[in-house]
């Protein structure tokens, strides 16, 4: 007997093949039947009429930071609401494990680092996760059986270094004995099911003490030794971040990526390729890494977002503005001193000069202050400004835009919420995206879901992208759009029997209304441990989501079921060789 029968759905199977009408039956967590409508003779415990609805494979998000959130939110919201059934975590060199049991203080260091570098609530980290593990395997075991999504995790280089080197991980180099211990620890993690290595060399990544995170101190020999270790395990990967990911790679960064991928014999993915017609040289430069890798026996895949992610800013709390060269020194001051500095015309002038320099890279996109929209305000002086554009207010007041923005924020003691309007929402940029998505080494993703919770909301990229393909810009057909969200990332990670609607595959499915599918406006909610805030977005037109054959979402509400699997390398992933 079938567990559930979905009747008369428009099946988009993830392969890119034309859609077709079929009945799809689920049994024992797998897709058991795909048949002509009305021809299924096997009885089903439950069924539903899906005429006019699209049935697609569950979406695969290749870049998340749900490592901590899954403990207090096993449903990985809002990703699951938006049809994501599989998430890849442990990215950017940051994981919660392994932790050295001889140094209990390492857990506190890790929490403060994650709070700073990934914008996670420190209170939520402290109260929402058990911190009961030492080894990476114990961390995976702590999640097993209690999550609603399928989740796989890389091992963070920072955690490996901290475990072996302690405080010397920041600033130090491992001795031969320490390097041997790091490799042993890494092999143990992959034996337990870790997907491979993630690391960062990005200049924007600092720990809770304001110091460069541990992996930024690693030299190429260390990175290549770890990469070679990846090659010894089935179904493993590399994920890496360098400073040039934000704008344009240096030759040394390209050489490093190429050598790491070739040494591992595995794909390396990086995040995120920013596509902007105003900087036409960026995409060709970034894809040089992929071209060189293929010639050297490796493969380098760029992740890029198919939507413009809603993001808010503030002069009062750490955000992307702090990462503009020279701005962190001012925005890191105590609030009264910060306001005084920001009101100084000379200081503002120097900040704007630095923000417009080449060294600011992709952060130059954040400095069109006349295009910022005022969000929440907190003072009588700012009444009526919510929803207004800074450029319009500045014109009324006879002020320069940044000066105007500073005065508005100062009235709120810098608590004002700011929404920068994207500068790359032009036809030329969308045409360049459409072209770039066709490249064999470009993949959709980079949501950062689970991180920067009160600053951005990338999780709904799946539904917003499909809605745009169906009813908006229509840059891609539905079948190709679904393939890019399902089978493409499943193939990159070597996921076994996931990413397609095919008999015998795991029943990870999403049913949606093609006339309505979309993502709602990002709104601030307070539902994290400690009443901490995050941005959320409602799923529109998603009728149901099944994970391993069990209904996990119905009409944007979680069912309470936790049918997800901790996906372990080798068992749940096959090797995707580059050779």
Task: Report how far residue 118's alpha carbon sits from residue 113's, in angstroms, rounded to the nearest whole number.
Answer: 8
> What angle (nearest 5°) sits at the alpha carbon of residue 325, between those of residues 321 and 326?
95
Task: Report how far residue 402's alpha carbon sits from residue 386's, in angstroms, rounded to the nearest whole number.
Answer: 17
Q: What's the confidence (pLDDT) of residue 158?
A: 98
Q: Which DSSP string corresponds to 464-475?
A: HHHHHHHHSS--
pLDDT higher than threshold 90 for residue 12: yes
Q: List the one residue out of 49, 60, 124, 128 whose CA is nearest residue 88.
A: 60
Task: Report how far residue 556's alpha carbon sits from residue 544's, in angstroms, rounded to the nearest whole number.
Answer: 8
Which of 15-29, 407-421, 522-536, 565-579 bottoms out in mean pLDDT, i.e. has the lowest? 522-536
> Residues 259, 260, 261, 266: is their CA dihedral positive or negative?
positive
pLDDT higher than threshold 90 for residue 285: yes
Q: Which DSSP string corresponds to 93-125?
A: T--S----TT-THHHHHHHHHHHHHS---HHHH
With residues binned 3-state (H G I as helix, E B as strand, rest as coil), the percentages for the chain, rounded to 5, are 35, 20, 45
pLDDT higher than threshold 90 for residue 239: yes
For 474-531, where are the alpha helices, taking DSSP H only? 478-485, 487-493
| 3-class DSSP state of 347 | helix
User: What pLDDT band is residue 303 in, cutting at 50, 70 and 90?
Assistant: very high
pLDDT higher than threshold 90 for residue 201: yes
Task: Report how far residue 237's alpha carbon sits from residue 192's, in angstroms, rounded to the nearest whole number.
Answer: 15
Q: What's the confidence (pLDDT) of residue 312?
A: 86
State CA 519 to chain mean position distance: 17
382-404 average pLDDT score: 96
The number of helix segments (H) and strand segments (E) in the chain equals 18, 24
Phi then psi dihedrals of residue 45, to 5 deg: -65, -30
Q: Which residue's entry shows tokens 């759009």?
A: 481
Structure tokens at 192: 């337990």
Q: 96-123, pLDDT tens digit by residue? A: 999 999 999 999 999 999 999 998 999 9
Q: List the one residue out of 398, 262, 280, 408 whose CA is nearest residue 343.
A: 408
Is-contact 476 435, C-beta < 8 A?
no
Q: Which residue's entry shows tokens 């020999």?
A: 221
Q: List the one residue out of 517, 444, 445, 556 whose CA is nearest residue 12.
A: 517
Task: Report how far residue 96's alpha carbon sits from residue 131's, in angstroms, rounded to the nearest whole number.
Answer: 8
Q: What's the confidence (pLDDT) of residue 132?
A: 97
112-136 average pLDDT score: 95
Give CA separation, 195 vs 138, 164, 230, 268, 321, in Å: 15, 20, 9, 12, 33
386-412 average pLDDT score: 96
Q: 249-273, pLDDT tens digit by residue? A: 999 999 999 999 999 999 999 999 9
Phi then psi dihedrals of residue 525, to 5 deg: -125, 160
Burial zone of 169 (CB within 10 Å; 0-12 exposed, 13-18 middle, 19+ buried): buried
Q: List the one residue out of 101, 100, 117 whose CA is nearest residue 161.
A: 100
Is-contact 247 285, C-beta < 8 A?
no
| Percentage of the residues of the chain whose pLDDT score is greater than 90 | 92
State CA 41 to chain mean position distance: 43
pLDDT higher than threshold 90 for residue 469: yes
For the full predicted model, state whether its pTM sits above 0.85: yes
User: β-pairing, 518-519 with 539-540?
Assistant: antiparallel
Give CA separation, 411 vs 76, 337, 385, in Å: 37, 14, 12
Q: List the one residue out of 140, 142, 149 whose CA is nearest residue 90.
A: 140
State CA 200 to chain mean position distance: 15
């Amino acid at each position: 007997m079938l567990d559930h029968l979905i009747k008369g759905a428009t099946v988009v199977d993830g392969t890119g093949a034309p859609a077709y009408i079929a009945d799809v039956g689920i049994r024992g967590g797998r897709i058991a039947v795909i048949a002509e409508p009305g021809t299924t003779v096997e009885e089903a415990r439950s069924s539903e009429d899906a005429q006019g609805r699209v049935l697609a494979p569950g979406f695969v998000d290749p870049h998340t930071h749900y490592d901590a959130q899954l403990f207090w939110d096993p449903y990985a919201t809002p990703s699951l609401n938006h049809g994501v059934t599989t998430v890849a975590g442990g990215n950017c060199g940051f994981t919660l494990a392994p932790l050295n049991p001889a140094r209990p203080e390492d857990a506190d260091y890790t929490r403060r680092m994650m709070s700073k570098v990934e914008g996670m609530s420190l209170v939520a980290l402290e109260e929402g996760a058990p911190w009961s593990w030492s080894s990476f395997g114990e961390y995976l075991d702590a999640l097993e059986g209690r999550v609603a999504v399928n989740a796989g995790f890389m091992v963070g280089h920072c955690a490996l270094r901290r475990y072996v080197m302690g405080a010397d991980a920041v600033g130090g180099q491992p001795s031969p004995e320490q390097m041997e211990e790091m490799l042993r620890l890494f092999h143990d993690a992959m034996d337990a099911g870790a997907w491979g290595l993630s690391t960062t060399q990005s200049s924007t990544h600092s720990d809770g003490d304001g110091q460069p995170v541990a992996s930024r101190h690693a030299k190429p020999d260390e990175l290549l030794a770890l990469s070679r270790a990846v090659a010894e395990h089935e179904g493993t990967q590399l994920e890496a971040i360098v400073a040039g990911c934000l704008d344009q790679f240096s030759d040394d960064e390209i050489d490093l990526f190429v050598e790491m991928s070739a040494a591992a014999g595995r794909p390396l993915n990086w995040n995120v390729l920013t596509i902007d017609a105003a900087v036409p040289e960026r995409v060709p430069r970034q894809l040089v890494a992929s071209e060189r890798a293929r010639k050297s026996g490796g493969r380098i895949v760029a992740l890029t977002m198919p939507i413009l992610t809603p993001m808010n800013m503030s002069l009062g709390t750490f955000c992307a503005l702090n990462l503009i060269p020279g701005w962190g020194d001012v925005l890191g001051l105590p609030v009264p001193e910060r306001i005084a500095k920001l009101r100084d015309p000379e200081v503002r002038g120097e900040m704007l000069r630095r923000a417009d320099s080449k060294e600011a890279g992709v952060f130059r996109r954040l400095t069109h202050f006349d295009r910022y929209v005022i969000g929440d305000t907190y003072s009588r002086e700012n009444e009526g400004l919510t929803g207004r554009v800074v450029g319009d207010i500045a014109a009324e007041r006879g002020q320069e835009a940044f000066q105007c923005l500073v005065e508005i924020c100062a009235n709120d003691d810098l608590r004002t919420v700011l929404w920068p309007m994207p500068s790359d929402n032009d036809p030329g940029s969308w045409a360049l995206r459409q072209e770039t998505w066709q490249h064999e080494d470009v993949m959709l993703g980079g949501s950062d879901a689970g991180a920067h919770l009160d600053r951005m909301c990338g999780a709904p990229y799946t539904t917003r992208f499909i809605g745009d393909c169906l009813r908006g810009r229509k840059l891609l057909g539905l079948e190709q759009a679904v393939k890019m969200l399902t089978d493409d990332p499943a193939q990159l990670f070597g996921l076994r029997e996931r990413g397609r609607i095919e008999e015998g595959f795991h029943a990870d499915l999403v049913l949606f209304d093609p006339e309505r599918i979309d993502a709602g406006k990002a709104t601030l909610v307070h539902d994290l441990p400690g009443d901490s805030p995050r941005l959320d977005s409602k799923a529109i037109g998603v009728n149901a989501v099944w994970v391993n054959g069990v209904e996990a979402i119905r009409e944007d509400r979680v069912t309470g079921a936790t049918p997800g699997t901790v996906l372990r390398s080798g068992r749940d992933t096959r090797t995707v060789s580059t050779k």
